[in-house]
Amino acid sequence: MKELIQDKNIPEIMDRLEKMHPEAACALDFGTHFQLLSAVMLSAQTTDVSVNKVTPVLFSKYPTAEAMAEADLLDIQEIIKTIGLYKNKSKNIVALSKMLVSDYGGEVPGRFEDLVKLPGVGRKTANVVLAEGFGQARIAVDTHVFRVSNRIGLTCAKDPNGVENMLMERLPEDQWSRAHHLLIFHGRKVCHARKPDCGACLLADLCLHHEKEGEH
């Protein structure tokens, strides 16, 4: 089994992440639960910045599940064509809107089991919606959280579900949602996929990746 950071060092890891990224927060723009759900679903395999460029027009034309359910698919494709997988996402956003209208009165449900039934909504999207929209303690594992957690030694899992479970076991529940944002920002700004900027990282003396690299 891969070596892990000792439990006693985890509070220090989280404190240092907070010092490096005090601004860490959800970077998507939204006004309602429906808009949050839509934005998170659209952000899969693309950047939050690119999503924020298209959602003002999308949400001004189709601000609710009822409006989106009646939208013209080609019109949605035209609006969001600059983001990745836009054709499939256009189909999903219409389909999930129709399901919200038919099954949930046009409202976004606040239960994980209901959210993952919606077209285009996986575990990560559901967890983000529950954390950001409903204030629930959740850890959403995207590529940054997966990479950083395994790299520094918080986790040693082979898939996102494993990372999620390990983080929930190793972190206090009241830190779950915050940890999600801190790990994302650390992955974006410091612990890059190809070449982590270890010289700018406050975790260097505790990070197992840094130890293996023999940089201190």
Known catalytic residues are 124, 142
- Separation between Cα atoms, residue 172 and residue 103, nearest integer Å: 35
Helix-helix angle 160-170:143-152, to 10 degrees: 60
Other C-beta atoms closer than 10 Å to the C-beta of 195 total 7
Quick one: angle between helices 33-42 and 123-134, nearest 10? 150
The upper half-sphere exposure of residue 92, i.e. CA atoms within 13 Å in the direction of its Cβ, equals 21
Tell me if 85 sits within 8 A of 77, measured CB to CB: no
